Structure 1
């Protein structure tokens, strides 16, 4: 190289001459072929224990998990067992959601391994135990968008993310399916895991299937992964796809779905290029079926469908009725396979889906969202988290995110369930504030939020009779009467955060 004073280059400043580890005069070129490189120079470590040691995890830190494996997940229990064996204590578990299969966490809470939980939902024995005062610290419940926002703003700082993946290459490119393989573990989108991987200080991908580099398209890029661990099993395929969606034959749910489809058509939003998100409950899925018939009849198509994606949405996409799919969570095997095979079926992160920090976030582009509920009250507040007995038995999910983001939010629920009223004076737990709810559809009538007079006028002109929310409450009372109020202690077992991380409600311990 010729002699030159690099400090004299105008506007550039001091950069110095080429030297150091990338200096070609001192560099050692790797002449191995690709297969040899992947065996010798990669991110795979010999065990989960080794990956934990390398991550620098310490007592009191925060670890995270995703819930794309739902009730078939092995990763949470596997990891907590290993951490307990290694002697860790006082960890904060920040899972995107927790299911029935995570009941073994109870022993780790009792032993002192798990000090606190952050999640979107709890179910099963773990939820029962928390509701009855298992933990000293209250559980923080966040929506999917609120969780992404908390991670982005570092209000929820993740020290180490443990993320299960059905496929991963030696350098960490991970996905929710295996290209060219239709058997084995498949969860589809890794939307919730994507945000964890991006923001965690260290990310450990746990997989049972190493594929050749590069594993593309990837759900999580290698640039967000520090270590890869190979284990025999990461989940139960039947549990992953079990119970996420169901097709209803209930006359009551079909009646509500028909009415809901009428309401959607009446809003004026049901036009060429509209956008939508549907829940996974029986009535919500039935709405999709009735919308499909109307779209074919009127020769219109949707620009995109969003959220947790079901096989019905995939079928409409393949028919040309939905142009694009934005998938944050694949709810069934059909959706997971579609993500692998369809060019315009794209997996998105929780941040892309619903973080309030992003004005262009996908929920803000929704025309219509149809959501289920456990109960609603006369102020249009919605509860999807606690049962009539006060016990935690659900998840916030994207409920408040989509209700606020969509132009029209519709809540669909029966007037009563098992002699329990679903329209009440005040819900047990406020998850979605009434200000963001537009329409409530029940099997005994439709009500429009008084804050939406123009919407109410459109629906009436369509020929749909409307009633007040108080009328629905009174009908429910006549059918089942007033239930005995739930008794609570003073102890707070859960904090419900709104999507901007402000506290919207608290959950108290159920009195025995």
Structure 2
């Protein structure tokens, strides 16, 4: 069996996550209750409010082997996951699966729970920091499952991932369980990654440091999904939302790459009235957004929408009238949080609406252009954003594969050489996004276009842009750095990388 990048997978992976054609009458998940009428318990408003996490755990069906979920909108400022896990560990519960939308360095206390058998499996779209390093070194009993953001929504809605208890960090909640992310001192903006957890989790516990009288306004997640509300002193530090790079690069090489990427967009013919756009929060990607802003102002172009995780730079473009609206699954900085609170054209969306390939209208399918980064890219345009060149987990797809598959033009922007290593490899260390979804690689030394896009190659050459084959760019890099040695790995699989539809695109092995 081979993955989407053409790599042979172990025989025991065969059949994992394969999609079975549906036969028969499909149940409507909106109309279907979580429990039968006899099993359901309808609580009056204030009866949902509990005094502590311990009291909530007393009322929940805690047992070995359960799956619990968390969302990551507070990013590296989140306190809730650690608080809950410490309380559960005190009760001697073992063999827990954590279905977190992402794991950050702040979640380092999970290492102790992994070592003592409290946590034996993790499902996430992104993992960085000490937990990622420990998993790469084989410290987790079972392989982590790495999903895309849209794939996570799909898996929860389809029942592939069944959540027993969802713990929701709620910047604001009222006494009946209505939640929003725009009020309170831990306001983080859109709560798109928590929506599926609340709608499909068997039990849902909102944990808030801002408990307000009923009703909380605005309401982003409804009381109909929430079983209990717990008031705590703090759910996290909103400054931790701005983790990683969320500033336009000042590096001349990065700015050169951004300028060339903007010319690629122009020549493609997609920068026009009604266009849609998404970019990441990396320094070069944000510089591309700035270049696009200049082009749109110059040519008096007004786009339809920008989407994804939203930064203040994209907010600025909307406030200048360059886009009609924003579709937001998470806010990357505090300016985006404020915009989400006050601008009616700044709309929230769930991860499923954003990128689920099995619903009837994922937003990514309406994208014209997406700008993405890469840890590595290979001769077949497969992209790695899951591991470093040393094989250690340092991220994950997030929305990478979702947007790459949906957009009309997918552009990878990257320095040709990173940390004295070429970004282009014979085969990527880990395949995250398949090459069939990638259209263009833009580096400071030249532009490589996927041979599938002959139309684009002709347009770029006519525009006198420095078009090369990806092999030519690879040779240039290796003349400067030498050919890197292949990393050595153990046979133990520490992670299974799922594509957005649930099929396996690659596996990650323990580093030596």
Q: State how 1:331-410 maps to structure 2 within 5 Å.
A: 331-410=332-411
Greater gyration radius: 1
The offset of 1:247, in angstroms, is 2.1
Matched, 1:161 2:166: yes
Cross-structure match for 1:134 = 139
> How far is the alpha carbon of 1:456 from its aligned partner?
1.6
> Mapping of 1:395-434 within 5 angstroms?
395-434=396-435
| Segment drifting more, 297-306 vs 212-221 | 212-221
Shift of 1:41: 3.2
Matched, 1:111 2:116: yes
- Distance of 1:434 and 1:422 partners within structure 2: 15
5 Å matches for 1:283-294?
Answer: 283-294=284-295
Aligned 1:192-271 pairs, distance under 5 A:
192-243=193-244, 245-271=246-272
Give TM-score, length-normalised by structure 1.
Answer: 0.90
1:138-181: CA deviation from partner (whole Å, max 9, x where unpaired):
00000001111111111011111001011011111111121xxx
Partner of 2:460: 459
Question: Aligned partners of 1:436 and 1:330: how far apart in 2?
Answer: 26
Equivalent residue number for residue 20 of structure 1: none
1:91 aligns to 2:99 (yes or no): no
Instruction: Report the Cα distance in structure 1 between the residues aligned to 2:44 and 2:363, rounded to whole angstroms.
Output: 40
Whole-angstrom distance in 2 between the partners of 1:243 and 1:373: 15
Q: Is the 8 A contact 2:48 2:177 kept in 1?
A: yes
Change (3 A) 1:40 1:467: closer
Q: Secondary structure at the match of 2:468?
A: coil
Counterpart in the other structure of 1:175: 180
The residue that corresponds to 1:81 in the other structure is 86
Q: Which deviations, in whole Å up to 9, do the C-alpha atoms of 1:318-363 show, x marking residues without a partner?
A: 1111111000010000000000000010110000000011231100
SS at match of 2:211: coil
Name the SS for the 1:254 alignment partner. Answer: helix
Distance 2:191 2:58 in 1: 25
Q: Is the 8 A contact 1:176 1:189 kept in 2?
A: yes
- How far has the Cα of 1:439 moved from its partner? 0.7
The secondary structure found in structure 2 opposite 1:369 is strand
Q: Kindly provide the CA deviation profile for residues 91-138 of structure 1, in whole angstroms up to 9, marking residues without a partner as x.
A: 100000000011110100111110100001211111111111102210
Q: Is the 8 A contact 1:57 1:159 kept in 2?
A: no
Pair 1:496-2:501 in alignment: no
Shift of 1:284: 0.3
Per the alignment, residue 311 of structure 2 pairs with 310
Shift of 1:217: 2.1
Match of residue 148 from structure 2 = 143
CA distance in 2, matches of 1:144, 1:277: 15
Q: Which residue of structure 1 lines up, in the alignment, with residue 35 of structure 2? A: none
Structure 1 position 506 matched with structure 2 position 511: no
Measured after TM superposition, the shift of residue 244 of structure 1 is: 5.0
**Which blocks of at least 5 consecutive residues in structure 1 are unaligned?**
1-37
CA contact (8 A) 1:371 1:399 kept: yes
The CA deviation at 1:48 is: 1.0
Contiguous gaps of at least 5 residues in structure 2: 1-42
Please say if residues 244 and 332 of structure 1, whose CA atoms lie closer than 8 Å, have aligned partners that are also in contact.
Answer: no
1:470-490 CA distances to partner (integer Å, 9 max, x unpaired)?
011111101101122111010
Tell whether 2:474 aligns with 1:481: no
For residue 87 of structure 1, report the CA deviation from its aligned partner.
Answer: 1.6
Mapped partners of 1:308, 1:380: distance in 2: 24
**Cα distance between partner residues in 2 of 1:242 and 1:412:** 20
Instruction: Output the TM-score relative to the length of structure 2.
Output: 0.90
Aligned length: 470
How many angstroms apart in 1 are the aligned matches of 2:374 and 2:502? 22
Larger mean CA deviation between 153-162 and 38-47 belongs to 38-47
Partners of 2:46 and 2:79 in 1: CA distance: 28
Counterparts of 1:99 and 1:330, CA distance in 2: 16
Deviation string, structure 1 residues 212-250 (Cα, Å, up to 9, x no partner): 222122221111111111000100122222335122100
For 1:352 and 1:375, how far apart are their aligned partners in 2? 29
Kindly state the Cα deviation for residue 292 of structure 1 after the two structures are TM-superposed: 0.6
Which sits farther off after the overlay, 214-223 or 346-355? 214-223
Worse overlay, 240-249 or 56-65: 240-249
C-alpha distance in 1, partners of 2:63/2:350? 28
Q: Following TM superposition, by how much is the alpha carbon of 1:46 offset from its aligned partner in structure 2, in angstroms?
A: 1.7
CA distance in 2, matches of 1:244, 1:97: 17
1:41 to 38, 46, 54: 46
Structure 1 pair 453–40 and aligned structure 2 pair: CA distance change class (3 A): closer
Q: Match of 2:40?
A: none
What do the CA deviations read for 1:174-204 (whole angstroms, capped 9, x no partner)?
11121xxxx7212111010111111111111
Please tell me whether the aligned partners of residues 45 and 175 of structure 2 are also in contact (alpha carbons under 8 angstroms).
no
SS of match in other structure, 2:354: helix
Report runs of 4+ in structure 1 exceeding 6 Å deviation.
none
